[in-house]
A and B are shown apart, each in its own frame.
Chain A
Amino acid sequence: MAFAAFADTSEKKSAEPVKKSRVVILMLLPGLAYLLLFFLAPLVSLILTSFMAPDPNSMDMGQFVYSFQWQNYVTVISENWSFFVRSFGFAILATVIALIVSYPIAYFIGVYARPWPAIQAFALILVIAPFFISFLLRTLAWKQLLGDDGWVVTTLKSASLLPADGHITGTAFSVVFGLTYNFIPFMVLPIYTSLERLDMRLLEAGRDLYASPSTTFWKVTLPLSMPGVVAGTLLTFIPASGDFVNASSSFLGGPGTQMVGNQIASNFLKILDYPAASVLSVVLMAVIMVIVSVYVRRAGTEELL
């Protein structure tokens, strides 16, 4: 019974220091003030605006008074639900494609290139390099490349892969392409961080325990890199759902590709219908929160954290 003597020595309770110090509160103050001023206050203002009613004493556009016009939600959602569907459809598609493209890149940098730190560093720079150029400029550059006069379209047309009156820009394809392109670094970096810490001896243990290389990937490597996958997909999905640049007609989108972000922008900036824009923003936030909380729970990554 030698083992029994050592059976219950595993529970280690870390003693939490309970000392409360004024310094801690002082150090928290700037962050709390920032959150209050730039997050909580605008959020309250946004929700209040979403219930505003048109000013009965003014005929001008953009004049509203505080009210509790909850019908705003009914009308705005019924008029705009298709933009929500498109937004989340595009965002999910872009997230999935970005994940499929990014995982091998992250694996190459974090696992395969481990014996060669110079190659790792170079590949990481390649991933980050696009950030040195403005997001808008890069998206505009793609508009040029994929435009009707660009070499991509002319080549495809001459090869009869695209009909003579076909376009790339202004289509759902180009919007999803733009979203995917712009968010790939946000997907690669967290997955790389997870894989970079992967203990290769665990992969050897997998091979030793009758798991083929592909089984070892699905049962060991992928589960251990889930924190990176979850972080990367959130960093891609959340901003992509609310994106209004890629889908805008000035960039890669067209009249048929408008996302919620574009509707919010035009309601705020063109039609000056602030309550409608606010309703769209609040609903977008709420749906993202629901999707993300379900996703994080389903991914079960809390076990790894």
Chain B
Amino acid sequence: MAEVSLSSSGTELTLQGIRKEFPGFVAVDNLDLTIRAGEFFALLGPSGCGKTTTLRMIAGLEDPSAGKILLGGVDITDTKAYKRPVNTVFQSYALFPHLTIFENVAFGLRRRKVSNAKELALAALDLVQLAHVADRRPAQLSGGQQQRVALARAIVNRPALLLLDEPLGALDLKLRREMQVELKKIQADVGLTFLHVTHDQEEAMTMADTVAVMNNGHIEQMGAPESMYDLPETAFVADFLGQSNVFRGMASSANASTIEVAIPGGTTLRVPVARASAHSGDVSVGVRPEKMSIHAGAVAPQTDTNVISGGRVTDVSFTGVSSQYSIDFGPLGNVVVFEQNLKALPTVDLGDVVSVSWKVERGFGLRDHRAAVIDEASEL
């Protein structure tokens, strides 16, 4: 970065009961959300979940049907888009094709009649390492370069809040991973509040301080990526953030520390009270594939371990570091287990009858068991 600084402290954003109706459907339903100043916040969900509509309402490109948007405590719900101290990195980049890269970056500064527009724009281009293409036009740049110009064009204005609308979606995987790291670094450097909308759960978990998983116009769960992954509350979150095995059951008994859940086939699973989002009635027990072990034959149950027996291995895929097993448990459905290849040989073979087990404290209790909707694009 040149002598000109682009840093800013960022501002807190609060959404209060935001709702957006389009003819025939509700895109965003009664959304409450607070993003702390300087935070990297990711809004994660499948396409059509309302995340982009939420972002557009914050940018001022859509008017909410109900609710309030507060930026640093000031109500900006009725403020026009061009008067909001908010800038957006658009999914399509939306660079002005008739202007040079430099003029694109300087566009917002010139509209606000900032006196040192030239130095600031050049500093922003330096930040994204594109000062050498300042005189070119957007069509002469590669996709990754255009993406960085779009980023520079937004952050040069030092907005109170920077909105990122799937800005990495059009890049190939390698470039996307590089950009994730860079974007995170730039956010730390300039200290802006970032709101990042994405359907890529890995991207959200890598970059964000806080992740909110959105589904059908509302937020399913919100928290730090690690705790969301470790302790999802709904089947949707369990499946959208990483992979999960979920066993639908009924809470049969509970003591102060553990809930017992009866699942089809006469097996009883245990889950710690502290790790369950429902404590009675319908409770589903979930566990991550990498936290399970696979055993040939039957295994005696223990108090600190859940065991399910009688599965048949239907698929084994060797990925080098680990092997992925697919095991059919009949009425319980399919269970996926990842096991690290610590031993020389795979422990079980295709068609073997096996048991799976996991430590009780590694499982989690879900309050629902809906079939999860996974956006196909997130599998990319």
List the interface of chain A (C-beta within 8 A of B): 1-7, 9-11, 199, 201-202, 204-213, 215-216, 219-220, 223-224, 226, 303-304
Q: Which residue of B lies closest to A4 (CB)?
A: B129
Q: What is the chain B residue whose CB lies nearest that of A300?
A: B98
- Are B108 and A210 in contact, with the CB atoms below 8 A? yes
Interchain CB contact (< 8 A) of B96 among A7, A210, A215, A220: A220
Contact of A3 with B82 at beta-carbon distance under 8 Å, contacts A204-B90, A224-B98 already known: no
Bound Cα distance A207, B163 (Å): 14
CA distance A168 to B88 in the complex (A): 56
Least CB distance from A126 to B in Å reads: 29
The answer to whether B111 touches A224 (Cβ under 8 A) is no
Q: A6-B175, A10-B141, A10-B142 are in contact. Are A208 and B81 (CB under 8 A)?
A: yes
Do the beta carbons of A209 and B90 come within 8 Å of each other? Answer: no
B218 at the binding interface (Cβ < 8 Å): no
Find the B residue at minimum CB distance from A204.
B61
Q: Closest B residue to A304 by CB, please name it.
A: B98
Binary CB contact string for chain B from 216 to 254 against chain A (1 if under 8 A, 0 otherwise): 000000000000000000000000000000000000000
B158 at the interface (CB under 8 A from A): no
Contact A199 B181 (CB under 8 A): no
Q: Which residues of A contact B97 (CB under 8 A)?
A: 202, 224, 304
Cβ-defined contact, B98 with A7, below 8 A: no
Q: Contact check, A209 vs B107: say whether CB atoms are below 8 A apart.
A: yes
Q: List 6 A-B contacts (CB under 8 A).
A: A6-B142, A6-B178, A204-B90, A205-B88, A205-B90, A303-B137
A213 to B82, CA, bound (A): 9
User: Of residues 36 to 88 in B, which have CB atoms within 8 Å of A's CB atoms?
Assistant: 59-61, 80-83, 86-88
Contacts of B107 in A (CB 8 A): 206, 209, 211, 219
Q: Specify which chain B residues have a CB less than 8 angstroms from the CB of A205 in the assembled complex.
A: 88, 90, 94-96
- 7 A-B pairs besides A2-B178, A209-B82, A215-B111 with CB distance below 8 A are A2-B182, A202-B96, A207-B60, A207-B61, A212-B80, A219-B107, A303-B137
Hey, which chain A residues are within 8 Å of B142, CB to CB? 6, 9-10
Indicate if the CB atoms of A3 and B128 lie closer than 8 Å: yes
Do A10 and B140 have beta carbons less than 8 Å apart?
A: yes
Q: From residue B338, how far is it (CB to closest CB) to chain A in Å? A: 30
Q: Which residue of B lies closest to A3 (CB)?
A: B129
In the complex, chain B residues 4-49 whose Cβ is within 8 Å of any chain A Cβ: none
A202 and B90 alpha carbons, distance in the complex (Å): 10
Q: How far is the CB of A190 from chain B (nearest CB, A)?
A: 17
Beta-carbon contacts under 8 Å, B137-160 to A: 137, 140-142, 144-145, 148, 153, 157
Query: Is the pair B130, A3 in contact by a Cβ cutoff of 8 Å?
Result: yes
> Could you tell me the distance between the alpha carbons of A224 and B139 in the complex, rounded to whole angstroms?
14
**Cβ–Cβ contact A208 & B61, under 8 A:** yes
B136 touches A10 (CB 8 A): yes
Q: Could you tell me the distance between the alpha carbons of A220 and B88 in the complex, rounded to whole angstroms? A: 17
Shortest beta-carbon contacts, A-B, top 4:
A209-B108, A3-B129, A205-B94, A210-B111
B112 at the interface (CB under 8 A from A): yes
Most buried by B among A1, A5, A204: A204
Chain A: minimal CB distance from B90 (Å)? 6
A303 to B60, CA, bound (A): 32
CB distance from B60 to the nearest CB of A (A): 7
Q: Are B133 and A207 in contact (CB under 8 A)?
A: no
Interface hits, B100-143 → A, CB 8 Å: 107-108, 111-112, 128-130, 132-133, 136-137, 140-142
At the interface, yes or no: B322 with Cβ under 8 Å from chain A?
no
Contact check, B182 vs A209: say whether CB atoms are below 8 A apart: no
B98 to A, closest residue via Cβ: A223
Instruction: Say yes or no: is B378 at the interface (Cβ < 8 Å to chain A).
Output: no
The verdict on B92 contacting chain A, using a C-beta distance below 8 Å, is yes
> Within the assembled complex, what's the spacing in Å between the Cα atoms of A6 and B128?
11
Check B94–A207 contact: CB distance below 8 A. no
Nearest residue, chain A, Cβ from B185: A2
